[in-house]
Amino acid sequence: MSDPALRSSPEDPHGVGSPPKVSDPGSRNSPADEQGPHSVQTILRMTYLIAALDITWLFVQISITPYLAKRLGFDTLWFGYLQTMVGVIQLLGGPIFGRFADLFGARMALALSSSASVVYFVLLAMADSVPMLFIHKLPAIFMHALPGTQMVVADLTEPEKRADALAKLGLCFGFGMITGSSLGGTLSTRYGETFTACMSAAGSLLSLALVLKFIPKHTKKQRTAKGSVFNLGEITRLMKFPGVAKTFTVKIISGLPGGVFQVMFSIIAMDFFQLKAEQTGYLMAYIGVVQMVIQGGVIGRLTARFSEDTLLLLSVGLTSLIGLTQIVMTNVAQFCFILIPMMLSLSLFNVITDSMLTKSVPPTDTGTMLGMCASVQSLLRTIGPTIGGFLYQNYGVSSFGCIQFGVNSLVFIYLLRSSRGRTEAHKE
């Protein structure tokens, strides 16, 4: 679910870094040439807008799918199967999408994602049976607008400012969550799921137009990526760079309990909290507000004052403590209180791990790396529904907190020992 403004300078009042410099101005298809009349600042602003719009349509869909599934006769188990299918599709598509962006450029990748979104929502509007509800999820293999916008931001900002710039996308996420959840709940209540899905398809067309108008064909300073989009070796070789495998393992293990809870949240809101569609929309809007405040007022200050290793340790430790509070949570009011530290730890964890991983690989491979980061979330959505459905039906909501506390306590101890080992080695 993912920032204060970047510190500015007289030369760069917007704090987004200078336009990329190309060693050979006359080289073919250089980023400077392809940006045309649009400055780097303009491209970044439009990238944030595209991200906000895409998240809006995503949360419109999230707010109506559980109720559409329930009307078509889905129970908790079958809804878990539906979520698992989406996770598998995007798990396969994430690294391929990132590789596609590295080879063919950000504009082509984001255009593919927006086009897939149009088809996705058109099929959702036509979903009047169980098979159609499953079929409409298939275009999700190409729907990776958030990783796509992260690629543009990572390419056009300096490494030392990357965490803050990536965190700013969290503001877009919060805005999209607020507007999408409120809009989806209201429209579906008053006009039905079909009309709401059609509105989302129209919105995705708008996103496609903005991509084609403002995003340059290529945004990288150097473009030496070669080979096939489906070259598995080119994708997996990134795991061999120093620190990548460790950070990836932490990202998966630490994120699993929270990912299970997020996947099951719509069911928890409907069954455990007994919320209606419109009330769930308001709750999602509240979550979006909290996220925007944290991203806009906290994350940037933390990244400016503390090292990424320290912030990673902080986020995992805080996540562990949040698990304890989830064990005793019984109503939506308590959840709203717990949500504040929960969103802080989640936002910080995602921003820091993404920043660390993109810095660990060459600039030509940041797209593939971010695609692999997106695949981690897809992996959690793949196995999360099965695990979450079993836990919820047999042990209740408190079981999510127990697992979160246990798993993240172990990860915290591991990171703390690893940090102390590096410190002692440095002193020697």
In a domain, 166, yes or no: yes
Tell me if 285 is assigned to some domain. yes
Residue 421, pLDDT score: 66
Which pLDDT tens digit goes with each residue over 315-356? 999 999 999 999 988 888 899 999 999 999 998 998 899 888
User: Which domain covers residue 333, as residue numbers?
Assistant: 34-223+244-427
In this structure, is residue 18 part of a structural domain?
no
Q: State the average pLDDT for the chain.
A: 80
Please state the φ and ψ torsions of residue 236, each to the nearest 5 degrees. -75, -20
Encode pLDDT of 236-269 as tens digits. 778 888 888 888 899 989 988 888 888 788 788 8
Quick check: 375 and 232 in contact, CB under 8 A?
Answer: no
Mean pLDDT of 358-369: 82
97: tokens are 């999408």
Q: Quick one: pLDDT at residue 38?
A: 61
**Residue range 88-105: average pLDDT?**
84
Give the span between the Cα atoms of 191 and 170, in whole angstroms: 30
SS3 annotation, 202-244 = HHHHHHHHHHHHHCCCCCCCCCCCCCCCCCHHHHHHHHHCCCH
Is 20 part of any domain?
no
Kindly state the average pLDDT of the residues 197-205: 91
pLDDT for res 163: 76
Residue 125 has pLDDT above 70, yes or no: yes
Of the ranges 227-231, 312-316, 358-362, the best mean pLDDT one:
312-316
The predicted structure's pLDDT at residue 30: 42
The reply to whether 150 falls in a domain is yes
pLDDT tens string 381-397: 777 777 888 888 888 88
Q: What is the pLDDT of residue 413?
A: 93
Determine, yes or no, domain membership for 22: no
Supply the pTM of this predicted model: 0.71
Number of domains in the chain: 1
Residues 108-117 pLDDT 10s = 999 999 999 9
Is residue 405 assigned to a domain? yes
pLDDT > 70? residue 367: yes
The average pLDDT across 153-177 equals: 79
Share of the chain above pLDDT 70, in %: 86
Q: CA 247 to CA 356: how far, in whole Å?
A: 8
Across 307-313, average pLDDT = 89
For position 279, what pLDDT does the model report? 80
Of residues 51 and 92, the one with the higher pLDDT is 51
Retrieve residue 80's tokens: 């878990």
Q: Looking at residues 202-216, what average pLDDT do you find?
A: 91
The answer to whether residue 197 sits within a structural domain is: yes
User: How large is the average pLDDT for residues 205-209?
Assistant: 93
CATH number at residue 85: 1.20.1250.20
Query: Mean pLDDT across the stretch 73-88?
Result: 76
pLDDT digits (tens, 9 = 90+) for 133-159: 888 889 988 898 888 898 888 888 877
Between 244-263 and 366-395, two packed helices, what is the crossing angle to 10 degrees?
40
Confidence of residue 426 (pLDDT cuts 50, 70, 90): low
- Torsion sign over Cα 60, 66, 71, 73: positive
